Amino acid sequence: MTKNTESDTTAGDGSGDNPLMKFLRTADPTVSFIRDILCVVCIVGFIVFGLFAVCGTWPAVVAIESESMVPNMNVGDLVFVVAPDRFGNLTTSEEGEVTGYGRFNENADKEGNKVYGDVIVYRPNGRGNLHPIIHRAITWHEADRSQPTDVSGYITKGDNNKVYDQMAGLSNVGMIQPVRKEWIVGKAFFSIPYLGYAPLHVFEFAVILIVIIIVHELYARTRDENRGKDLSTDTKNNQKRNNGKKGSKKN
């Protein structure tokens, strides 16, 4: 009868021989640590999937690393990016000046001029191995067919820069070409100040997160061991008291 009762209790707790349930319920420190790491990975994966579903592009967030868009965008801003055609068509500064449309245009540019249109995130010359540039789309340039090297694309400029990107160059790229549509990652939708410092220091934050998990596991393990010792001590004390009471009654 006793064996049957124990068997029924094991089946009733929902674990049985199910490896998944054992993994989820075990108190083994190593397995618990792995479980916490997987939980963090799942949460991050859920956030990534959600951002991609809403924004329609990837990366869906970028961090401002330079002062080229000051004062409308500052170093450390975390910028949410959406597909160029998401929430309206991509609008250049030239087009926005006609309609009055503009994003990230609360302040004037370096020359004191009012800015309009969308701010885009693009890969310079389509190079996927380089950090994307986030600058304002000024106008669309249609290539001159008589010039074989001329290409169609957006002319871009940082609000804090004096010249267009296409009049400058990068040391490992050369002259920046007009931005083709397929080079555009997306357009800036909104930003949150200071949160961009996290992606800029992602390695440091990852180390801190892992340290926090390890410290938490060590604390939980020590707490459980102390509780076990306390329960064992209480049990022994209760047994001594009970034995003492029994001895008194016999006397």
139-150 per-position pLDDT tens digit: 999 999 888 888
Helix axes 29-55, 202-250, angle to 10 degrees: 140
| 106 found inside a domain | yes
Position 159: which residue type?
A: D
| 65 found inside a domain | yes
| 94 found inside a domain | yes
pTM, entire model = 0.69
Mean pLDDT of 64-69: 95
Asked which of 78-82, 87-91, 152-156, 243-247 is least confident by mean pLDDT, the reply is: 243-247
Residue 17 exposed, middle or buried by CB count within 10 Å (0-12, 13-18, 19+): exposed
Structural domain count of the chain: 1
What average pLDDT does the structure give for the chain? 83
In sign, the C-alpha dihedral spanning 184, 185, 190, 191 is negative
CA distances from residue 6 to 9, 12, 14, 117 in whole angstroms, order as listed: 5, 10, 14, 72
The answer to whether the beta carbons of residues 79 and 193 sit under 8 Å apart is no
Asked which of 15-24, 61-70, 121-130, 217-226 is least confident by mean pLDDT, the reply is: 15-24
pLDDT tens-digit profile of 98-116? Answer: 999 999 999 999 999 999 9
Domain that holds residue 114: 59-195
| 41 found inside a domain | no
The answer to whether the beta carbons of residues 154 and 92 sit under 8 Å apart is yes
pLDDT at 169 over 70: yes
Which letter does DSSP use for residue 131 in this model? P
CA distance 103 to 119: 7
Asked which of 71-75, 114-118, 238-242 is least confident by mean pLDDT, the reply is: 238-242
Confidence band of 237 (pLDDT split at 50, 70, 90): low
pLDDT score for 200: 60
Instruction: Cite the DSSP H helix spans in the chain.
Output: 2-12, 19-25, 29-55, 93-99, 197-200, 202-250
| 141 found inside a domain | yes
**Looking at residue 164, which CATH number applies to its domain?**
2.10.109
| 229 found inside a domain | no
